Structure 1
Amino acid sequence: MRRLAGLLVTLVVLVGAANASATVLPPGFVETTVLPDLGVPTAFRFAPDGRVFVASKDGRINVYDSIEDTTPTLFADLRRQVHDYWDRGLLGMTLDPDFAGDRPYVYVLYAYDKDGHWNDDCVLPDDVGCVVSGRLSRLGPDGTETVLIEDWCQQFPSHSVGAVEFGPDGQLYVSAGEGASFLWTDWGQSGNPCGDPPSTPQLAWTSAGGSLRAQSFNRPEGEAAVLGGALLRVDPDTGAASAGNPAIADPDPNRQRIIAYGFRNPFRFTFRPGTQEIWVGDVGADTVEEIDRIHDRRNVPNFGWPCYEGANRHWAFGGMGNPLCVGVYERGDMQPAYFAYQHGEPVVPGETCPPAQGSVSGLVFYTATAFPARYDDALFFSDFARSCIWVAPKGSDGLPDMARVEPFASDASVPVSLTQGPDGALYYADLAEGSIRRIAWRDNGPTARIVATPTAGPTPLTVAFDGTTSSDPKGRELTYTWDLDGDGVYGDSTETKPTHEYTTPGKFVVRVRVTDIAGQTDTASQLITAGTPPTVVVTAPKWFTVGETISFSATAHDGDGEVLPASALTWALEIRHCSRTDAGVCHTHPVKGWTNTASATTDAPDHEYPSHLLLKVTARDDDGLTTTRETRIDPRTVQLTVASDPPGLEVTLGDERLPAPFTRTVMAGSTNSVAATTSQVLDGIPFTFAGWSGGVAATGLVTAPASGGATYTARYTRPAPPTPTPTATATATATTQPPEAPPQVNPFTPPDVGGLPPAPKLLGAWGFDAGANRVTGRHGKALALTGRNGLTVRAPRLGTFTVEAWVYATRAGTVAQRGSAFRLPTTLRRRWTHLALTYDGTTLRHYRNGALATAQRRTLKRTTSPLRFGGFRGRLDDVRLYDGALAPAQLADDMRRAVR
């Protein structure tokens, strides 16, 4: 590896704790930090006896006696097993419903590092991948681990395992992402270490890997399903599929476990009280965040990813012709989201939450009575990237009324888990500040507040406290009791403005409890730091190139000037990803950490630009005093240009598909994806993709140069001159480019059937009984198709129409397409199938063998673009075009008649 030059040396004398911006809440609500200094909390649960279990991303689970406890007990340390890198780690935790009885178990879900690397190093893990698995385990009262499932092969460091929850039926529910790369359109082209089918080299139109793992439930018979991108229902004692699962009769044990699939990253889910409904927050890719509802437990719903993102076909997977997505489109069985919001748009018009990005990160239904009645049974949901929480009130049908969604907590501190507490307050894990926060209703009770002057300084430190800013909504008199020495015991003072001298260095959590005349109470806390914190000197690079080795080090001294050992230092590397349209809107991904070391190295990670690295080091002295230093490391950048020949055709770079040419700034050394569709129409002329110039691999992945820039050009060819069909029964000639044929009218028209309206006019019909490239057809001979040849028809603008054909497809593709107006896909049946598309001016209907497959209300534009038949491998026979929509009975008659 090349080593970075130009080191940036920084000196820190003292770093104080920065106060996060205040969360904006509706009147009457207050937010307090109840458990601070937690590191990176990812999940927490309240036990029936009042204890609080808190899971940290690195694999530790601590137990607090209550939310006012300041000295936790370590319940379990799974750091040796947990792969703590980027979005991987210990992410899910729950308690057994009978925790207070005969089943005192804690269930955990984490990325499993089978090699046991404490610092979780991988070689370019976000580029070529670092393969890990996932574990669902049960922990006994002493922390002993029993593994229930070890699966979820994952190559890339995001879309990892998600949440684990008990349902109202006593069964265990588990979610996980599909483990694909977030840097490119991942269909398994990066070595296929998880062994996804087929065993031959991975190709976009045949692979079942990458993001397509989320559709593994639909793999052909004999190909095992995987657990990524799915929701499972399993036995809490064995991890096997629970009795009553919809697919319990399937011979594949993974399919038996799956009760929903087609997710990208179902990070959090919850149950609607009083029902068996499951509500899932699915983190989106480029455009949409989803909240999905699973209410019909008789079937296994498919929520569409990666074939769909939101309600629309995915811009890349939608045009690949991959059989897994083609099957979704043909069956029309994608379950739409209950609610979705777009990146770049607010959830609620006029709100202050930054809209540029999105990452839905928490859901909970409110069932307590501590909030006003308007919140009864409401759905609260949070977004990690937008640092906001919203609420959807219950509608007249009992379901959340998403038309009345409103902001609840703006500028919340990176919420990653929402939970209702035993006191009826709303709690969330704060990933940024490393704490658990409580949002409570105080309209009828007092609100405690502390003002402390000063909050830090050398010993002896005298601090003046003021509790008089505490309030009661009815102006009632308050009484005060203080815990001034941080030992968790109140009664050190009952004054409104006490003072206290701290003679021993350390950190002290001071609390005040206020009580009104009705006996209602509230507490507030303030951290006091007595003594001189350490000083830290950090040496780190100022710039990085993806893949280069970053070296960094630090030296630290305590308040007396003594050198602190390496064991006093803890490091964390984060990547800060910002919006292309608003550089001030960013979110943070924890990447990795190091402990007990004064220096370390790491390979510079890859990510979408604009992003930069944040390197943090914390020094802790013998008195528990800490100083944290943060160093920003910026990426070197280059310009990538994608072009087309001829110019103006649409090409894709990363997550953008635009008319070429266009240029984007990316990280030097980063991996990027480029793509071009197999056929396009420009100014009424069809073009066929011929290949790339500029060094693009078959995978579609390109590595940005270390400096300067690069240009990649998608080359297209124009079709050969048209070959007309001279008679009504004439055939088309197959060439390497699609021939053209003018519409021809056959000597027969479809009959009027059963009192139906008069049949539409037949504009043209094509049989293939003579000519080159002929093979056995459905009726006589058929045209053999390679995916590049076919039939092109010039037809007038049509406001209504029917297109039909007999198709024998050996590889998926497109039977018929007219510009961007409509497309008729194949079906991979390896047998003759009659396919038809009708449009009556309002509804587009897709028929398969005379039976209605899908119907969509759409407004299609009238176009003069050619109507192209072909674009798949197999055979084509008996093509017909009408100027109106045929009825099913008329289609059935055509199916019996050959074109002659």
Structure 2
Amino acid sequence: MSTNRIRGLVGALVLLLAVLINPGVAAATLPVGFTDQLVFGGLTEPTAVAFSPDGRVFVAEKSGLIKVFASLTAKTPTIFADLRTNVYDYEDLGLIGLALPPGFPTSNPYVYVSYTYDAPIGGRAPVYHDTCAVLYNCLTSGRLSRLRASGNVSIGEQVLINDWCQQSDTHSMGDILFGPDGALYVGGGDGGSGDVVDYGQLGSPSNPCADPPSPVGGPMTPPTAQGGALRAQSLRSSGPARLNGTIIRVNPATGAAMPGNPLISNPNQNARRIVAYGLRNPFRMVFRPGTNEVWIGDVGYHTWEEIDRVLAPTASPVRNYGWPCYEGAGRQPEYDATNLNLCESLYAAGPSAVVAPAYSYQHGQAIVAGDGCRTTGGAITGVAFYPASLGNYPARYKGGLFFTDLLRQCIWSIRPGSGGVPNPNYIEPFGSTVGAPVQLKLGPDCNLYYVSITNNSVRRYVYKTGSTSSCPV
């Protein structure tokens, strides 16, 4: 989830301290009538929250603990599951995704999680015990699992997918969510370096994920190398499809590709799962209400942050979002300079071969002039829609998209334009966050919630006396 070498939580804390002691950085104030309220405190590096229809609230912590609160007013949680042995809690890696299925808990008693697994694909955890002696030499992987709930405790983990080869300390698992079609959507990062151009040459031995054209330890040089960040382009590579840098649409009970996926007839099981690719670190996702559109907060590299829109996940062909050949407003200059074949052939096909971001913003520049938010770097870490007809937020927020940035520690809203689609011409600042936000979520009370990894809390924005209606969860 980081960029410009935010070394996980440690780096985020340093940046938070810099904000607090730097008198030149102003905090963006909330609009009149809004307050920022603490909901749950005393957590340890929380990363995600999920609301159950029965009133319970599940909170994931980066280490692999999942806690459950009896209600929004409960003060003390119960430990629902302890996955710390399996979770690789190192730098940006850990337990990231948490979701509850339709019908939970009565007809579908499962809690879904995605996390970095402390072992290579097919290995047995823990291998590294949440440490790494030499960066790029600690080969791990990603897991998608479901945990069967019995009351407030888990009675077992069913691993649905173990894939997403990981050679770095960032860009591992992303968000998980259920679509209106009942399918499970999962995001995964490219697994490459967050600091330098990475085409598989890093590590000792090099190419630890055995990306084409070489085996593990083989030479990985331009223009033929297809590893590292280029795993996000694996559908166009000479090797088998990888899940890195993709959004997949799978059966929640098995992890297999869902019928109707664009590549459902492909002989490769990973290709069958993929509904979007060419993403760097699709850390958070949300469906636009009333549609099948997926909106993605894709954490950027040295210059740009993106919000991407998958207009129709089951439509053919599978759309390519361009990373690492493209980013933000155009070609990614550092990867362009390496003259890699996978990028050069994409450039030759023209800009229409990739999907441009629905919105992107540049590091070092304010999102809205005078918004009072930091402009040093960027890391988009939350996206959430406000319903068009529910809740008591003012009319200008209805049907709009909220997004947040971990480094800038602010939230903005994009008001809808034609057809109810968020229009980047209508962006306005909403306010500051307490600590570093890593998720935005609409709550059952129609209030906007955020998870603060540095403040160890879950918080919400309440307008005046609170919500006047309930929202579906």
Q: Same fold (TM over 0.5)?
A: yes
Q: Partner of 2:420: helix, strand, or coil? A: coil
Is 2:449–2:460's contact at 8 Å kept on the other side of the alignment?
yes
2:299 corresponds to which residue?
Answer: 283
Matches of 1:253 and 1:371, distance apart in 2: 44
1:304 aligns to what?
Answer: 322
Identify the residue that residue 161 of structure 1 maps to in structure 2.
173
Give deviations 1:712-759, integer Å, cap 9, x for gaps.
xxxxxxxxxxxxxxxxxxxxxxxxxxxxxxxxxxxxxxxxxxxxxxxx
- Shift, 1:104, TM fit: 1.3
Partner of 1:206: 224
Q: Shift of the alpha carbon at 1:129?
A: 3.0
1:891 is matched with: none
- Aligned pairs for 1:116-195 within 5 A: 116=126, 119-125=129-135, 128-142=136-150, 143=154, 144-190=156-202, 191-195=206-210
Distance 2:56 2:274 in 1: 33
Query: Aligned partner of 2:91: which letter?
Result: W
Is 2:440 aligned against 1:418?
A: yes
Determine the structure 1 residue equivalent to 2:93.
88
Identify the match of residue 324 of structure 1 among 342, 351, 356. Answer: 342
Which residue is 2:15 aligned to?
Answer: none
Q: Paired residue for 1:838?
A: none
More strand by share: 1
Give the 3 Å change call, closer, same or farther, for CA 118–67 of structure 1 in structure 2: farther
What CA distance in whole angstroms lies between the structure 2 residues aligned with 1:71 and 1:397?
Answer: 44
Correspondence 1:376 to 2:398:
yes
Structure-1 separation of matches of 2:380 and 2:27: 21
Identity among equivalent positions (%) equals 48
Q: 1:393/1:412 Cα in 2 relative to 1: closer, same or farther (>3 Å)?
A: farther
Match of 2:60 in 1: 55
Structure with a larger share of its residues in helix: 2
CA distance in 2, matches of 1:267, 1:296: 19
Q: Is the Cα contact below 8 Å between 2:391 and 2:447 reproduced in 1?
A: no
Change in 2 beyond 3 A, CA 1:411/1:422? closer
Question: What is the alpha-carbon distance in structure 2 between the residues aligned to residue 258 and residue 241 of structure 1?
Answer: 8
Q: One-letter code of the match for 1:193?
A: P
Aligned partner of 2:365 among 338, 345, 358: 345
* Whole-angstrom distance in 2 between the partners of 1:177 and 1:106: 22
Q: Displacement of 1:236 after TM fit?
A: 0.4
| Structure 2 CA distance for aligned equivalents of residues 68 and 22 of structure 1 | 28
Deviation at 1:321, TM superposition (A): 2.5
Aligned to 1:242: 258
Any residues of structure 2 matched to 1:586-605 within 5 Å, and which? none
The 2-side partners of 1:110 and 1:308 are apart by 27
The residue that corresponds to 2:385 in the other structure is: 365
The 8 Å contact of residues 28 and 371 in structure 2, kept in 1 or not, is answered as: no
SS of alignment partner, residue 129 of structure 1:
coil
Give the CA deviation at 1:204: 2.0
How far residue 351 of structure 1 moved from its aligned partner, in angstroms, is 1.2
Q: Distance in 1 between matches of 2:414 and 2:421?
A: 9
Contact 1:90 1:111 in 2 (8 A): yes
Distance 1:256 1:267 in 2: 22
2:409 match = 387
Deviating 4+ runs (over 2 angstroms):
19-24, 410-413
Matched residue pairs, number?
Answer: 424
Contact 2:280 2:323 in 1 (8 A): yes
Task: Confirm or deny: 8 A CA contact 2:118 2:128 kept in the other structure.
Answer: no
1:4-52: CA deviation from partner (whole Å, max 9, x where unpaired): xxxxxxxxxxxxxxx9998721000011111001010000111001100
Structure with larger RCO (C-alpha < 8 A, sep 6+): 2
Unaligned runs of at least 5 residues, structure 1? 1-18, 448-519, 521-900
The aligned amino acid for 2:67 is N
C-alpha displacement at 1:158, in angstroms? 0.4
Deviation at 1:316, TM superposition (A): 2.0
Equivalent position amino acid for 2:323 in 1? W
Partner of 1:671: none
Task: Give 1:119 shift.
Answer: 4.0
Q: Tell me the alpha carbon deviations over residues 276-316 of structure 1, each in whole angstroms, 9 at most, x when there is no partner.
A: 10101111101110001111331211111100111221112
CA deviation string 1:335-365 (max 9, x = no partner)? 1001000000011112111112100100011
Larger Rg: 1
Matches of 2:61 and 2:157, distance apart in 1: 17
- Equivalent residue for 1:270? 286
Asked whether the equivalents of residues 83 and 111 of structure 1 are also in contact (C-alpha less than 8 Å), the reply is yes
Match of 2:456 among 415, 426, 434: 434
> Conserved in 2, the CA contact under 8 Å of 1:129 and 1:157?
no
Q: Does the 8 Å contact 1:79/1:118 carry over to 2?
A: no
Is the contact made by 1:362 and 1:415 (CA closer than 8 Å) also made in structure 2?
A: yes
Separation of aligned partners in 2, 1:118 and 1:287: 32
Question: What are structure 2's unaligned runs of at least 5 residues?
Answer: 1-19, 120-124, 469-473
Per-residue deviation, residues 504-553 of structure 1 (Å, max 9, x unmatched): xxxxxxxxxxxxxxxx9xxxxxxxxxxxxxxxxxxxxxxxxxxxxxxxxx
Q: Deviations over 1:539-591 (max 9, x none)?
A: xxxxxxxxxxxxxxxxxxxxxxxxxxxxxxxxxxxxxxxxxxxxxxxxxxxxx
**Conservation of the 8 A alpha-carbon contact between 1:64 and 1:73:** yes
- 3-state DSSP class of the match of 1:423? coil
CA deviation after TM superposition for structure 1 residue 118, in Å:
7.9
TM-score by length of 1: 0.46
Structure 1 segment 500-515 matched on structure 2, within 5 A: none
Structure 1 residues 107 and 203: alpha-carbon distance in aligned structure 2, compared to 1, 3 A threshold: same
Amino acid in structure 2 at the alignment position of 1:327 = S
Say if 2:272 is the partner of 1:256. yes
Aligned to 1:759: none
- Normalised to the residue count of structure 2, the TM-score between the two structures is 0.87
